[in-house]
């Protein structure tokens, strides 16, 4: 698991190969295994494979051009009706998104996190494209596929950012 975490990188170039339904289900199992405030699990997921839908999202997301070439994307959404502690849905959905990214890497796939929330124009546009109800907030979008090439691991450990007991 540490290898999957330490070698995870954002991948934006995907081979023209499908990602099977069982694999997508494994990614969703990982996402839904994330911790959440009060164990409320205030998330919903939209699996996107429809090419015109992915293209429409790429039209409204300034950094989403890889959606035009990925075989599948997963939209992580927060559900206001399922939050036990107001506002913590954001952390919960971030944890689910990170689990999804790590699982993709562990399965030999590439993935990239596209931020949606809190950019209201993105939230509104993507909510409309996927016909989500008003209480559902598109939080992040993860493009997934077989990487054309995997970027090398990045060394991000920085001892200068560690503080013990006090700043």
Burial of 21 per CB tally in 10 Å (0-12, 13-18, 19+): exposed
Question: What is the tens place of the pLDDT at every residue in 19-47?
Answer: 999 999 999 999 999 999 999 999 999 99
- Beta strands in 17-135, from DSSP E residues, in sequence order: 43-48, 72-79, 110-115
Could you tell me the pTM of the whole model?
Answer: 0.96
Query: What domains are there in the chain, each with its CATH number?
Result: 14-149 (3.40.109.10)
User: Tokens 């993709």 belong to which residue?
Assistant: 104
Distance of alpha carbon 58 from the chain centroid: 15
Name the 3-class secondary structure at 87: coil
Instruction: Summarize pLDDT for 114-154 with one digit per residue, the tens.
Output: 999 999 999 999 999 999 999 999 999 999 999 999 889 99
């Amino acid at each position: 698991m540490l290898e999957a975490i330490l070698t995870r990188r954002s991948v934006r170039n995907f081979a023209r190969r499908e990602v099977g339904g069982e694999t997508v289900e494994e990614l969703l199992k990982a996402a839904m295994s994330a911790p959440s405030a009060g164990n409320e699990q205030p998330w919903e997921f939209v699996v996107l494979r429809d090419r015109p839908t992915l293209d429409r999202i790429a039209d409204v997301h300034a950094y989403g051009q890889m959606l035009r070439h990925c075989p599948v994307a997963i939209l992580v959404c927060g559900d206001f009706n399922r939050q036990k502690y107001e506002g913590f849905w954001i952390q919960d959905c971030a944890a689910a998104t990170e689990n999804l990214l790590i699982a993709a890497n562990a399965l030999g796939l590439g993935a990239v996190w596209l931020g949606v929330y809190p950019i209201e124009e993105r939230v509104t546009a993507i909510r409309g494209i996927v016909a989500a109800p008003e209480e559902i907030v598109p939080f992040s979008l993860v493009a997934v596929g077989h990487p054309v090439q995997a970027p090398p691991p990045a060394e991000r450990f920085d001892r200068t950012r560690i503080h013990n007991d006090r700043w």
